[in-house]
Chain A
């Protein structure tokens, strides 16, 4: 018993505070503790700012300043007098039981959703703060069994609070928070996975948080499945959707436009910047199951008589994402396709030489009407990571990259990490 006493001074579990007695400084019982309120401040450990208590059948708010000690099953007031007021949430405040315990959290470390079975508090810098969350079976068992038996079960592994991100429940004041710095470091595809696995409200919170970074938001949208894209776009104005689309790759933007309700497609497309609008319009003209619908119009092409240095300079100055620049395409004076070159080949070559003198790969190409199987076979047969698409006059109009093909080829059910009954 003595051992538990000393340990419990350093660490407290939420389940031991909830339902505990509220006593005044003389030790007289006044009521019981219903919930614990903490303030999320940046990425630090959130301190307790107050308690929800029931006194004489009425629920009231007890600010932390009026509390002397917090012990297992007992919260003691600093004064004999009790001063209760109704609770109203202040910004950044969440209720540990109502909003966090038993709810889902993002484990930012592993980029997955976990459920809080127990919450661990510790005395840091003079006051109680949330330091960790138990997501394992032990925390659940401790709370499941009667307190006398459950309390004897050793605690499981706690996740440090710094590596989790709670959802804020229905509290609007807390919702518009800056993105957890480590959440922002996740790959957009991982964030999209989290959004897809979360409930509607939780997904919306992630998207809202991501919204502070327009490029990241666009990247996440590129990775989301169509259902979720539509869900989050439905509430936005045409201008907002256009702004989002302008940050997306043209082929993904065109896909999203195609998923929009008929009546919104034109208004949204009209609000795009001219160059993006032209690309999206052109892509929308193709059947999405054919090369034209799969391709991206973003690539770098140079005249075949350009020097290696000039070509590399084009790549350097290009605003395209890195993955679109791995291959550079050549054209003749009439803008007809004339082969392709790997970036690595350019780097190894003499900068003064003409690109045409290099070992230009005579890659096969696709018509915009080539169906999906043709695209996939061609890329598999020739080991291509990108296949050029030419129009009827042999001018290059786009490139189908291997990720576009993989997305379609992925077997049913593999696309999502979670769930079984999904429509895929």
Chain B
């Protein structure tokens, strides 16, 4: 009877060397999770998406304008970011609900609508900035934005709406690797490490309005509302349970610290090159790329361009998803992108609108790229306290979080973060409105 193996099967066996990898029920699911999500989980992706086009522009601007003197702020912002990301990941793990969902259930439809609209506005701004980033990156290669941005937009739309988001996400993450060039460039630029150390520890203030603006922009780009929303939704989607709490906490905190170390090196690299050379303002992507010159020399622009492109695409792909999750959770629609259009018309519509409008804004000739990017971060900085306030209140709720609620120092520092960012934002609004 062994001779009964059909010819077709033998043929199939002979093709074994070229066979595609098929998942088995147990082993590979686990190994996939370990290999991919273990290394590049939502905690890391969420925080690193913050180092997008707007982030790079802001950090470069900070480094060029003030050298290392704002590094102490980066330390504070990192503590805040780590706490906030940690709270979001833990809430998702313990409750199995997204942030917008929790706001809706605890504070009613009006607050959730308010939070949703603020996130929509902020995300729209960031989305525009990331398409501008795509245009600027490809602009370094001489491709006009009128060509590059629509093509990139179409690609992102296809990836999100038509399917293989997961594999694309991996590509995007790899494309951010050129950003590791910043730490190397920072070291090669031989900064005065004594000054860097001093700046990290000793707060230094500047008495001009740009300082405040950049400070808030820095907080806004590093602690962006969509990061917490994305992280919490992703943790929920991942199906994490209380058993995963230590791992989720570690990943959220680790991702935040990692992202901010990269951000700090962007400041150091620009501080050690542009600031030292007397260039105190960045007008274009090409200016920002100069910070990479100690490492890449004449290839600095290429390196910068590839990194900026990857970072912009990553954020531009994650943003519409995070946005539609928020809308889904707060309005109570069925979630589901990557589904067929007819099953989720609201989402496909929302994503399409976001991408189309961002594309149109990004290709208008004569848009002042860097100031637009920084401006968006300012809006984010203003909207941030709303979101943070909810996270603080929800994460300390015993009814919701039980024994895993924020208590003691963690709760106090979170409260202080909310208070400080709110104050800064209000001052900024006052300064802007009064035209100081």
Contacts and interface: CB of A to CB of B under 8 A. Distances in A.
A joins B in a complex: yes
Contacts of A255: 25-26
Nearest to A424: B29
A342 interface: no
A198 B95 CA distance: 10
Interface in B230-265: 233-234, 236-239, 241-243
B335 A423 contact: no
Given A114-B332, A140-B331, A201-B96, A102 B241 contact: no
A137 interface: yes
A289 B109 contact: no
Nearest to B338: A420
Interface residues of B, number: 55
A287 B25 CA distance: 10
A417 B19 CA distance: 29
A408 interface: yes
Contacts of B336: 417-420
A112 interface: yes
Given A103-B105, A140-B109, A377-B8, A422 B237 contact: yes
Given A117-B109, A227-B239, A422-B237, A373 B94 contact: no
A153 interface: no
Contact of B97 (A199, A226, A365, A412): A199
A288 B30 CA distance: 13
Contacts of B24: 287-289, 293, 372, 408
B321 A115 contact: no
For the complex, would chain B's binding face be called helix, strand, loop or mixed by DSSP majority? helix
B37 interface: yes
B277 interface: no
A364 B243 contact: no
A200 B42 contact: no
A228 B239 contact: yes
A112 B22 CA distance: 31
A268 B139 CA distance: 63
A359 interface: no
A340 interface: no
B335 A420 contact: yes
Contacts, number: 141
A202 B101 CA distance: 13
Nearest to A18: B108
Nearest to B16: A373
A102 B25 contact: no
A189 to B, nearest CB: 17
Interface in A131-180: 135, 137, 140, 143-144, 170
Interface in A295-317: none
A102 B206 CA distance: 47
Contacts of A412: 166
B33 interface: yes
B207 interface: no
B9 interface: yes
Contacts of A409: 22
A117 B6 CA distance: 60
B26 to A, nearest CB: 4
Interface string A347-370: 000000000000000001100000
Closest CB pairs A-B (n = 3): A115-B332, A289-B24, A199-B96
Interface of B: 1, 4-6, 8-9, 12-13, 19, 22-29, 32-33, 37, 42, 94-97, 101, 104-105, 108-110, 112-113, 163, 165-166, 233-234, 236-239, 241-243, 321, 331-332, 334-339, 399
25 contacts: A102-B105, A112-B334, A113-B334, A116-B332, A196-B239, A198-B96, A200-B96, A289-B28, A364-B4, A364-B5, A374-B12, A376-B22, A377-B8, A377-B9, A378-B9, A390-B1, A408-B25, A412-B166, A413-B166, A420-B165, A420-B237, A421-B233, A421-B237, A422-B238, A423-B239
Given A226-B29, A289-B24, A420-B335, 18 more contacts: A113-B334, A114-B332, A135-B332, A200-B242, A201-B95, A225-B239, A287-B24, A288-B24, A288-B25, A289-B27, A293-B25, A364-B6, A373-B12, A374-B9, A381-B9, A407-B25, A421-B234, A421-B237
Interface of A: 101-104, 112-117, 135, 137, 140, 143-144, 170, 196, 198-203, 225-228, 230-231, 234, 255, 258-259, 287-289, 293-294, 337, 364-365, 372-374, 376-378, 381-382, 390, 394, 407-409, 412-413, 417-423
